[in-house]
Amino acid sequence: NAGVTQTPKFRILKIGQSMTLQCTQDMNHNYMYWYRQDPGMGLKLIYYSVGAGITDKGEVPNGYNVSRSTTEDFPLRLELAAPSQTSVYFCASSYSRWGPYEQYFGPGTRLTVT
Amino acid sequence: KQEVTQIPAALSVPEGENLVLNCSFTDSAIYNLQWFRQDPGKGLTSLLLIQSSQREQTSGRLNASLDKSSGRSTLYIAASQPGDSATYLCAVLETSGSRLTFGEGTQLTVNP
């Protein structure tokens, strides 16, 4: 299994541009999550999904959108990029949020907005 | 609002030393607590998950304990090795299951 994969690994955006960060998991997990990690900080939840067609906001959703059309994919869309969105973005998945089910993380996308 | 604090922020030890990393949280109404490892420029790897009803979990040289009533968890690493050098993050899942709140991490360096 490849686990959780993310593309691209790095990206530089100009202010006002838009882009989609891709996330795919091959573990047939129902739950998927998007986090951002700012330098020297812990991770903050942006959006999460409990299954195809169902998404919900996390702690810092402003400036982002998500969709979940399949179990495997959970893309994160940035509209009108701002310097405050410069961060490392991690996608994660888990079988369930209940029980002893840990979250598996992708390698991250490092985004710079200038 | 749940807040998670990790002390120390950074730790440097000689190889072979036993060490303890600390994690505290403000709201004891948690579902579980996880310890993660993050290598530079990489994603997170789950090390141990402790359910709220459990007191500790062990994996190899790692032992994590949980005292929910006092809002504390510790990660004990025995006989540290240079390969243990990484940032260690703890995170608590609230009882609703909708939010995993992370601490800022402890950056560990094990010197040969």
Nearest CA in chain B to A88: B41
Interface of A with B in 31-50 (CB under 8 A): 33, 40-45, 48
Nearest to A103 among B4, B31, B100 (CB): B100
Condensed to tens digits (0 to 9), the pLDDT of residues B24-39 reads 999 998 989 999 999 9
Condensed to tens digits (0 to 9), the pLDDT of residues B54-108 reads 999 999 999 999 999 999 999 999 999 999 999 999 999 988 766 789 999 999 9
Shortest Cα–Cα distance, A96 to chain B (Å):
9
Helix (H, G, I), strand (E, B) or coil at B76: strand
Q: What is the mean pLDDT of residues A89-107?
A: 86
* Partner-chain contact B44 A33, CB within 8 Å: no
* Residue A16 in this model has a pLDDT that exceeds 80: yes
Which residue has better confidence, B40 or A47?
Answer: A47
pLDDT tier for residue A73 given thresholds of 50, 70 and 90: very high
* Amino acid A100: pLDDT: 67
* Amino acid B37: pLDDT: 96
Does any CB of chain A come closer than 8 Å to the CB of residue B92?
no
- Least confident piece of the model among A30-39, A94-103, B10-19, B27-36: A94-103
* Amino acid B94: pLDDT: 84
Long-range (24+ apart) CB contacts under 8 A made by B75-79 are: B75/B20, B75/B21, B75/B23, B75/B35, B75/B47, B75/B48, B76/B18, B76/B19, B76/B20, B77/B18, B77/B19, B77/B20, B77/B21, B77/B108, B78/B18, B79/B16, B79/B18
* Partner-chain contact A102 B46, CB within 8 Å: yes
* Amino acid B21: pLDDT: 97
Peptide bond preceding B8: is omega within 30 degrees of 0, i.e. cis? yes
What percentage of chain A has pLDDT greater than the value 70?
98
The DSSP element (H or E) to which B73 belongs, if any, is strand B72-77
d(CA A33, CA A6): 12
* Residue A31 in this model has a pLDDT that exceeds 80: yes
Contacts of A107 in chain B (CB under 8 A): 42-43
